[in-house]
Structure 1
Amino acid sequence: MPDGNTDATEMNWMTRRRLLGAGGAAAVGMLAGCGGGDTTTQEDSGPTETEGEGADTGDETETTEQGDPIDPTLSFAQWPNPNSSNYNPYNTKNFPKPRRFMFDRFMYFNLTSGEYEGYAISDWEWDGNSISLTVRDGLTWQTGQSVTADDLLAQLELDMYTGGTLKNYLNGDIQESVQKIDDTTVELQLSDVNTSIAMGLLQPKHIYTPYTLDGASYEGFGRFVERYHDATTEDERSAVTNELTSKWTITPDDEPIGAGPFQFEDADSQRTLLTKYEDHPDADQFNFPEVEYRYSPSNQKRWQMLQNGVTDGYDTLFMPENQLQKLPDNVEVGTIPRHYGMGLIPNWENKHLGKRKVRQAFAYAINRQLVARNSGGGTGTKVGVNVPSGITSQLAGDVKEWLGDDYSTFEKYSHDLEKAAQLMEEAGYSKSDGTWRDSDGNKISMDLKVTSSFSDWVSADQTIVAQLQNFGIDANLLTESSSTYWGKSYVNSDFDMASQSWTDYGRRYPFFHQSWMLNSNDATSYWNVPETVMVPPYGQPDAEPQEVNPLPKLQKLSSASGDQAQQLVKELAWTINQSLPAIPMMEKQAQTFLTTDDWNVPAKDSDKLQTYWPNEWLPRRGDWTAKLE
């Protein structure tokens, strides 16, 4: 059985119990797209609470030479217009990538070694089901005040009050279960939870939230904590959530304050400029004074920036082979396992796609390997999903390992138009003049919506639509701007079919993906997956379907380990395989970009690149430095 490596994203697993406030729609904006869109996430982690250096196969970087940097500014790109960026991490509309240098993550995790190292949280200690977290000594807000346990408490509590996953594993209510121990330590009192899951949720978090903030143009986050504590009704709590997640913004005019190694300097319509914060504990790792993020709202513009030497790298960006060939020799392209991939999202309230056999027919009608190949653009970084199951890491063989001897009983949905036609007929449809029609003779028409910002998704969806048309479905592809797609169509379920990840963005442990497909806010609120689904008994695909509620098994899996965990994963995989809440299309290897003309960086195959994300962590660890004159 594969290990519990939950290599991480910050993405929340939100349950049905979450009360959706007015901020819900904004929060999903540009959720996880293939271009690495700016999102607030609860992103990243691994299997054990060990610490230590990961193995290194990369180049040594210069850290002791004297002289001025050839290029004093490390340049990247960001999605939202710098002028309209918003630095409130809970109101995620236009939350920009400069946050990666303005704020520090709790911990570092290396995908190769599977080990954690402290960062903003320097130490942690498990005591039964409780974990104490200690803030790094010397970490300060960029006003000069120390980062304290109050700030950490605000971060943890507000994450959970606004729907964060950790809330599901507390031993009591939020206020009782998050306790300040001293000036630098907070204790979380958890229920019986798998520590891999808990660490996977903690590691990628950032410290964003000064409880109080002296010398700034805006107040700290403690006022929201206190209002949550004082709220006595659900309506009062919802009002706080609405203000925090929807109404309050921190704009460039507010001169946002962080606690990372670089601080906000200014922003205009084309770029955000950050300057080195000399009082950060790792300030000496940076031998260059500036980081900038240039406005680039599409994959194509990012390609051109790298090809023309405008930017010095990018965390994760899909670039097809014909564009890779245009890169100058100084650009290195590494790959990182992503445990992530696009899925075809059926709207379960659609009168046709709400039928299990129609979803299964579509799965058979689409050649997922062809979709992945066309989406990959000749890069070989994408592979079609072989067995829809909510289990990732196909290239490493995780699906077969988790399913074991039962692997052969799962539907593979290999491309088979005859099987697809049989299922459509069993669902009550007939085909005439090459088109599938319902019992009233109306042709089956479907629109598939996708954001135009993600060129690889568009290529995938063009292939999907062509195959559905070939099968006899009146299918059409509608591309929309990122703001329209994520901000309106997707969150309002205004689609027949949509494009979104079928995975929880970057994690390996199946729990996260199975939860995402069956019980996430996206699944229940946007895809309209019901609380119970109809599936045949385990291992009996031809038996009569029965009503199944997957939530109890998801809850058990959150604390299970060993053989019990494997059995629960298999049973949840069966529910997904037979009901298809989403139709998984592909899984990807992320491309990450570094330049060597003016910068010392590790080799593209170095283990140092195996983290989310190299352009964020390498400079902090002294592994991305400026070459000197």
Structure 2
Amino acid sequence: MQFNPYNPNNQFVADFYHPLADFNLATQQFEPLVASDWTIDGGSMTLNLAPDLTWDNGDEFIGTDMDIWLTFQQYVTQGTVMDFIDDWTIQDDKTIQLALSNPNINNSIIEYNILGELPDTPRALWRDHAKRLKDTEGGEDVVSEIVQRQITDVNNAVTNSVWSFTGFDGLNRAQYNRRDGGNPDLSNVEIPSFGYQVTTSRQQRLQALRGNEIDWQGQLALSEPQRESLPDHLQYVYLPTDNFIHGSIVFNQEHDLWGQRAVRKAAAFYINIAQTAANQSWAAPGTRLNGMEGNKVIQDEWINDILGNFTDYDADNRVERGDAVLRDAGFSKQNGVWISSDGQSLSGDIISVSDWRDATVATQSVVDMLNSHGFDMQQTNINSTQYFDQVFSEQGGDFEAAWAVMGAEWPQYPHPLSVYSWVFGDSGPSQWFLRSQNEYDVPMPIGNPNGSTESINVQQLVSDLRTASNDQAATEIVDRLAWTFNQTVPAVITNPAGLNRWFNTTDFNIPSVDDPFNPSDKYLSTMGIVTRMIREGFITPK
């Protein structure tokens, strides 16, 4: 396993490092973790570090560690946090002051972008590299050395979480022990140790479950006969992830036909997500979100009072409504295929990723559904390298529609900016990703899909949302963005996100199916979710 978080081939796990603060979905508030408290005053943010937090090598977590991490954010990752700060000062071992780049950004946005980050640079490992980064102002040779560094041994796998890496057993499973001290969450952890193994073969994972070789297994979608073949002591638990990425079909809005709002709306009516989600390892049952795809928490919090006026693409008469949208736009059916007024058939390719089973299965489901309602689509599977060149690149766009992931820029936090920065993309690759336009013609007023169209500059609205002075001002912006998404359909969700886990109930108490754990942390891997469930008391020994 590789524990360098800056190496692209790392297999480090998120629970090695704690964020500055935990976000509590129930209270909608940040709770202290690495930072014991924080204040935002005008153009600065002050962080005070927890007095009793240490790295597992015994070093106290201090301002120097934060200085190294911020230096890495500046020169190595160009991380999100650097979009919000210009400089920082280590005032003492436990106090850091951040100079904010824009004092007009409201406090919640600052918190969402800074407090959820993981300081992952223990000075015992990275002090010299940080000094050289500063001396060379991010010299390419230093950055390359950091990115290529291999961290594989026990002594250099330094963590500030509740776990310590102790090595590998005879089956090449990574072994972790509960730390003796130095972390305030240790009182919640009742399991003294565990092993973790990365197995890419689906068949091997299924055999391990059947053979009672493992206690927990994540992300294994099974058919009903396969589920019935498992031992009775294995319990399936579905973990809904309201703040997560979702599989979707995105449309090339520069295309002659798919650039038409009516075509995208009709497709949304015809696609049945309950079917596309079937047998997907990360898909959740349920219905789509019609105003804020990717985050039900945000939708309920911000736009629930206006949702009744939005177009419901899961309505019982959705097929008839899809037909009506196309007819109103001048399409007619000839030999079972929709034809535009200028003679073009609703045909083309939907590109999918051959490397990702969920993508290919969901895409085939979408193709079948659309074709059963008068489209003439076919599926084209290409490998991930070709996919990113052809679809997910500034030079891309050679497609009618494509499977893609969609969700939130900072998916662990329920704020609308996290969704709309991704969906409409006021900067960066998300704009290329969805081929998003700057402006959409949207029927207005909100709630009237047949109203006169108004040009809505979505990227300007996203920019305004970043600097909204209060929640009331933000709500007015969010309402317009949500209505724009609902009426213009830049993408259709195919795989509402969720995670499935299999647990051994012989030796462990686990969450009931009716009371699932919600893993809100954007960084959590399969192991990270399980270890967080242990840390928060959702898994305990019998």
TM-score range (shorter-chain normalised) is 0.7 to 0.9
Residue 125 of structure 2: SS of its match in structure 1? Answer: coil
Deviation at 1:387, TM superposition (A): 1.9
The answer to whether the 8 A contact 1:133-1:186 is kept is yes
Q: Quick check: 1:334–1:605 contact (8 Å CA) kept in 2?
A: no
Q: Quick one: which amino acid aligns to residue 198 of structure 1? A: I
Distance in 1 between the 2:478 and 2:124 partners?
43
Distance 2:304 2:344 in 1: 42
C-alpha spacing 1:388/1:409, structure 2 compared with 1 (3 Å): closer
What CA distance in whole angstroms lies between the structure 1 residues aligned with 2:390 and 2:473? 40
Structure 2: distance between partners of 1:195 and 1:301: 48
Task: Report whether the alignment pairs 1:569 with 2:478.
Answer: yes
What is the CA-CA distance between 1:448 and the residue it aligns to? 3.5
SS in 2 for 1:181: strand
In 2, Cα distance between the equivalents of 1:425 and 1:270? 62
Residue 470 to residue 288, structure 1, CA distance change in 2 (3 Å): closer
Deviations 1:402-444, CA, capped at 9 Å, x for gaps: 1525732546474645554565567676643333457466772
The question of 1:117 aligning with 2:117 is answered no
Corresponding residue number in structure 2 for 1:281 = 182
Q: Secondary structure at the match of 2:464?
A: helix
Q: 1:133 to 1:512 in 2, by over 3 A?
A: same
Q: Select 1:407's aligned residue among 302, 308, 318.
A: 308
Quote the residue 2:420 is aligned against.
514
Query: What amino acid is aligned across from residue 491 of structure 1 in structure 2?
Result: F
1:503 to 407, 413, 423: 407
Structure 2 distance, partners of 1:154, 1:567, is 40
Cα distance, 1:151 vs. partner? 1.9
Give distance in 1, aligned partners of 2:459 and 2:153: 45
1:353 aligns with 2:258: yes
Which residue of structure 1 aligns with residue 532 of structure 2?
617
The offset of 1:573, in angstroms, is 0.7
Greater Cα offset, 569-578 or 594-603: 594-603
Query: How far is 1:181 from its partner?
Result: 1.9
Question: Is 1:432 aligned to residue 334 of structure 2?
Answer: yes
Q: 1:136 to 1:240 in 2, by over 3 A?
A: farther
Q: What are the superposed Cα offsets for residues 71-100 of structure 1, whole Å, 9 maximum, x if unpaired?
A: xxxxxxxxxxx4xx5x44345x3342x423
Residue 154 (structure 1) aligns with: 68
Instruction: Write out per-residue CA displacement over residues 106-146 of structure 1, whole angstroms, 9 at most, x where no aligned residue.
Output: 33344335454333333334445643223334544455544
Name the SS of the counterpart of 1:94 in structure 2: coil
CA contact (8 A) 1:224 1:240 kept: no
Structure 2 match to 1:553: 461
Describe the shift of the 1:470–1:264 C-alpha distance in structure 2 as closer, same or farther (beyond 3 A).
Answer: same
Aligned equivalents of 2:509, 2:322: Cα separation in 1:
54
**Cα displacement string for residues 340-376 of structure 1 (whole angstroms, at most 9, x for unaligned residues):** 433212233444323333322322332344434x357
CA pair 294-123 structure 1, distance change in 2 beyond 3 A: same
Residue type of the alignment partner of 2:66: L
CA contact (8 A) 2:48 2:95 kept: yes
Match of 1:248 in 2: 148
Tell me if structure 2 keeps the 8 A contact 1:534–1:545: yes
Give the whole-Å Cα distance in 1 for the aligned partners of 2:218 and 2:391: 25
Deviation at 1:380, TM superposition (A): 10
For 2:119 and 2:73, locate their aligned partners in 1 and report how far apart those are by CA, in whole Å: 11
Q: Does 1:527 align with 2:434?
A: yes
Task: Confirm or deny that 1:106 pairs with 2:20.
Answer: yes
Q: Tell me what 2:90 maps to.
A: 180
Task: Report the number of matched residues.
Answer: 518
Matched, 1:89 2:1: no
2:197 corresponds in structure 1 to 294
Pick closer, same or farther for the CA change 1:570–1:200 going to 2, 3 Å.
same
- Choose from 101, 107, 119 the match for 1:207: 119
Tell me the secondary structure at the aligned position of residue 360 of structure 1. Answer: helix
Aligned position for 2:268: 363
Of the three residues 304, 311, 332, the one matched with 2:214 is 311
Q: Secondary structure at the match of 1:295?
A: coil
Alignment partner of 1:382 is 2:285 = yes
Corresponding residue for 1:57?
Answer: none
Alpha carbons of 1:357 and 1:602: their partners in 2 closer, same or farther (altered >3 Å)?
closer
Amino acid paired to 1:330? H
The Cα offsets for residues 203-226 of structure 1, whole Å up to 9 and x where unpaired, read as: 442221235627xxx954454455
Deviates more, 1:565-574 or 1:603-612: 603-612
Shift in Å at residue 398 of structure 1? 1.6
Task: Give, in angstroms, the shift of residue 195 of structure 1.
Answer: 3.7
Cα 1:596–1:441, aligned 2, differ >3 Å: closer, same or farther?
A: closer
Task: Write the deviation string for residues 33-63 of structure 1: whole angstroms up to 9, x where unpaired.
Answer: xxxxxxxxxxxxxxxxxxxxxxxxxxxxxxx
CA shift, 1:571, in A, is 0.6
Contact 1:112 1:610 in 2 (8 A): no
Taking the TM superposition and a 5 Å limit, the aligned residue runs for 1:579-598 are: 579-585=488-494, 587-598=496-507
Separation in 1 of the partners of 2:116 and 2:312? 35
2: distance between equivalents of 1:307 and 1:147? Answer: 43
Report if aligned partners of 2:267, 2:370 keep a CA contact under 8 Å in 1. Answer: yes
Report what 1:464 is aligned to.
366
Counterpart Cα distance in 2 of 1:317 and 1:196 = 36
SS at match of 1:565: helix
Letter in structure 1 aligned against 2:121? T
- CA displacement 1:536-588 (0-9 Å, x = unmatched): 44435345544432233223333444432322211111221222222234634
Query: Structure 1 residues 619 and 157 mapped into 2: Cα distance closer, same or farther (>3 Å)?
Result: same
Secondary structure at 2:435 match in 1: coil
Give runs of aligned pairs for residues 30-49 of structure 1, distance below 5 A. Answer: none
1:380, 1:549 → 2: CA distance?
A: 32
1:112 partner SS:
coil
How far apart are the structure 2 equivalents of 1:463 and 1:112?
A: 35
Deviation larger for 559-568 or 573-582: 559-568
Q: Aligned-pair distance for 1:458?
A: 4.5
Taking structure 1 as the reference length, what is the TM-score of the superposition?
Answer: 0.68
Query: Separation in 1 of the partners of 2:188 and 2:514?
Result: 22
> Which position in structure 2 is the counterpart of 1:5?
none
Give how far 1:466 is off: 0.7
| Distance in 2 (alpha carbons) for counterparts of 1:308 and 1:351 | 55
User: Partners in 1 of 2:517 and 2:319 — Cα distance?
Assistant: 45
Cα deviation, residue 524, structure 1: 0.9
- SS of residue in 1 equivalent to 2:92: coil
Secondary structure (helix, strand or coil) at the match of 1:573 reads helix
Q: Would the aligned equivalents of 1:110 and 1:610 in 2 still touch at CA under 8 Å? A: no
Letter of the structure 2 residue corresponding to residue 617 of structure 1 = R
Which residue among 416, 422, 447 is the counterpart of 2:350? 447
Distance 2:145 2:434 in 1: 25
- Quote the Cα distance in structure 2 between the aligned partners of 1:602 and 1:146: 34
What's the TM-score once normalised by structure 2's chain length?
Answer: 0.77
| 1:517 Cα deviation after fit | 0.6
C-alpha separation in 2, matches of 1:99 and 1:602: 22
**Contact 1:331–1:594 under 8 Å retained in 2:** yes
